[in-house]
Amino acid sequence: MFDVTAIGEILIDFTPVGVNEQGYKVFCQNPGGAPANVLVANSKFGGKTAFIGKVGNDSFGKFLIKTLKDANVSTEGIIVDEEVNTTLAFVHLDTNGDRSFSFYRKPGADMMLNSNEINEELIKNCKILHFGSVSLTDEPSRTATLEAVKLAKSMNKIISYDPNYRPLLWDNEELAIKEMVNSIKFADIVKVSEEELFLLTGEKNLEVGSKVIADMGVSLVLVSLGEKGAFYRKNNEFGLVKAYTVDVVDTNGAGDAFLGAIHYCIKNKSLKYIIEMSKNELEKILEFANASGALATTKNGAIPAIPTLNEVNALLNK
């Protein structure tokens, strides 16, 4: 039995690591893709996870499969596309370590996952199914993702969703909002950034915006706020858990490390338990997740920067 199965994109992040002697930017090949990042975080803490997705039959695809295997994430749900190459993303960092992206994905292998290629056993044998919106940008992966989610829902699995908005991957903002909002109705747990909360609800007020999402049928709403911490809403309870102060190098993957930590903490809990858990217990989980997310910003890359359980506990014990 897997604690979490995720469906979606796995790709190469080329992350800037300085300049060479001629003054040209140097990029380092790093494994990434939000659903995969979330699984690796969970697995590094000791969780049992599986990935469903597609890579190209190229050196990048082989590298990504090996990365997941090395992180103890099951790769039996990965399909290798013989025609389309693995998706590439170039990460651009500003002076604060905040990132933006350029994608090479017209098409990319992750978009080409078909419904008939989904390993249903990995959904049947999981407790939580996690997905994001990058796999909703294009067909056939959009239909494949939603069919996987509906299957998990019919099996009473906990559904976790991170809209993870990447504007360059959508034809337009209107379509993005429509697809992302439509997907919320399937979810029990939704994690959004502050910017995504405003995009999807039109609300900058955390209490009001989180209630708009909760009213769509979501049991636990999480809003990652970077250096300000994390806001949560569960039923009519809400609150803010402060972040940990660290030296930020690269914020890429921090939200995924945060969410993977949440999944790890609730891996043996039913949805009923999550809904009814005390405010104190939930805030302890968020403290752990905040520590995980904070540590992920102290190194370059997404998957390579995900901390170990010992590192998170050391920060918590400080």
Buried b (16+ CB within 10 A) or exposed e, 213-247: bbebebbbbbbbbbeebbbbbbeeebbebebbeee
Q: For 194-203, what is the mean pLDDT? A: 97
Q: What's the pLDDT at 94?
A: 78
Q: Is a pLDDT exceeding 90 seen at residue 96? A: no
- Return the pLDDT at 65: 98
| C-alpha to C-alpha distances, 143 to 97, 128, 135, 140, 241, nearest whole angstrom | 35, 20, 9, 6, 36
DSSP one-letter string for 98-152 = -EEEEEE-TT-GGGG--GGG--HHHHHTEEEEEEESGGGSSTTHHHHHHHHHHHH
Domain 2-9+33-85+113-317 in CATH 3.50.50.60? The answer is no
Question: What would the two tokens of residue 243 be?
Answer: 């972040």
Q: How far is 250 from 302, CA to CA, in rounded Å? A: 8
Q: pLDDT tens digits for 215-225?
A: 999 999 999 99
pLDDT digits (tens, 9 = 90+) for 142-175: 999 999 999 999 999 999 999 999 999 999 999 9
Distance, in Å, from the CA atom of 90 to the CA atom of 95, rounded to the nearest integer, reads: 17
Per-residue pLDDT tens over the stretch 39-71: 999 999 999 999 999 999 999 999 999 999 999
Name the band, by pLDDT with cuts 50, 70 and 90, for residue 196: very high
Rounded mean pLDDT, 168-196: 97
Contact between 169 and 134 (Cβ < 8 Å): yes
CB 179 within 8 A of CB 41: no
Residue-level pLDDT at 34: 96
Per residue in 250-267, pLDDT (tens digit) is 888 999 999 999 999 999
Length of the chain: 318
Written as six digits, the tokens of 169 are 């991957």
From the list 170, 124, 128, 110, the residue with the least C-alpha distance to 42 is 128
Per-residue pLDDT band for 318 (boundaries 50, 70, 90) equals: confident
Check pLDDT > 80 for residue 72.
yes
